Amino acid sequence: MEILNTLNFTFIFLSLIFCKLIIENYLIYRNILFIKKNRKVVPKKFSNIITNDEYIHTNNYNISKLKFQFISSISSLIFILLLTFGGVINFLTKSVINITDINSLGAVLLGIAFIIISEIIDIPFAIYSTFKIEAKYGFNNTTKKTFILDFFKSLVLSIILISIIFSLIVIIVENFSSYWWLYSFISILIFQIILFFLYPTLIAPLFNKFKPLTDEKFKKPIEKLLKKVEFESKGLMVMNASLRSTHGNAFFTGFGKNKRIVFFDTLLDTITPNEMEAILAHELGHAKLGHIKKGLLVTTILSFFSFYILGLTYNSNSFFLGHGLNELTIYSKIFLFYVVSSYYIFFMRPIFSYTSRKREFEADDFSIKHTNGKYMISGLIKLAKDNSSNLTPDPLYSKYYYSHPPISERLDSLEFKLGSKKS
């Protein structure tokens, strides 16, 4: 497209990354102020279960995380500027060119170099988050050995995945002069589907141990619920989440008939069987209401447009030069597009957050339709307490960032609907 050659991509890109920085850090600042404004008195809904000391602890924890989020955002800005206009991608590409003239191998080497650099830069932040913030507020169970093993497992896994993805795209570009972006999209989509099937049995066990849920007081009501809502699952599993943290959660993993329901062992220690049934009904609601399929569909559509735009920009050297890339190879151009693309769509985050929050309310409705709603309420309150969730988030911050509605909004919605059912 000729229009691409007329655009000042340097100005556009710099404007976007600084706009993102200003907006997101302004929201962080607002959220900190909002927590401090409401920190004196425990919100009425939680006054019977959360003490003043626990509330102070929760607020301090959330403020610490927000300050860390601010530092991380500054670090991300510096890193992206170094990669692009700082010449890091150019340097890495030159180094790869000196090693090989095979583009697919070049893609692998560039990807490996990027992953290693990214992981090394992330180490101090991960250490601070895990052993300073999480440990200070009583959530960390991660030992140094586990942390190191996690680092190397993640590093190897990331290297394997990025090597497969980038080399596959490069091979397709080399062999198809037109519509290569479409064939790339289809190939990566197939690869992602394979990963969905492999994740529960091959990838997840690399980091955690999974065992069947055997506790009958939890197992019986769950199996009864699964039968009631006609949900097929390949297994009820318990994950040793306590290896790393005291936070509790539950989730689905797998795809199609390969779905598994996984509970954190920490969750089973804090909630009752009735509360577990209500929380699981919420998760089942996502599946039965088509939220998972809709989410996958949206992701697929976005991926399609991402590859389509890559196809448009690929032959426009001004796009890549405008982002500081002077060493123009097949793999360096694809890599740079991958690195900068998220900054062009960051403003869509509130839309995705809104859609996600809407689905959470719908899943809550599904839960109170099939279980006793009072247990959903008590379960959510316990989860909020045990995870030190922010009980008073700034409205603008939550609208931008939160994939789940603030806990107070969920409780208000549940109480209103349960009251309507009684009347």
Q: Which residues are catalytic?
A: 283, 364
| Residues forming a β-bridge with 263 | 238, 250
Q: Which amino acid is at 296?
A: L
Burial zone of 18 (CB within 10 Å; 0-12 exposed, 13-18 middle, 19+ buried): exposed
| Rounded-to-integer distance, Cα 191 and Cα 286, Å | 24
Nearest to 264 by CA among 278, 292, 245: 245
**Lookup result for tokens 């999974």:** 210
CA quadruple 150, 151, 156, 159: dihedral sign: positive
Q: Which two tokens stand for residue 134?
A: 């999480």
Q: Which amino acid is at 345?
A: I
Which 3 state secondary structure label does DSSP give 211? strand
| Rounded-to-integer distance, Cα 40 and Cα 370, Å | 38
* Helix pair angle (144-175, 103-128), 10° resolution: 150
Angle at 387 between CA 221 and CA 215, to 5 degrees: 25
| Rounded-to-integer distance, Cα 272 and Cα 142, Å | 26
DSSP string computed for 243-266: GTBS---EEEESSGGG-EEEEEHH
DSSP string computed for 153-208: HHHHHHHHHHHHHHHHHHHHHHH-SSSHHHHHHHHHHHHHHHHHHHIIIIIGGGT-
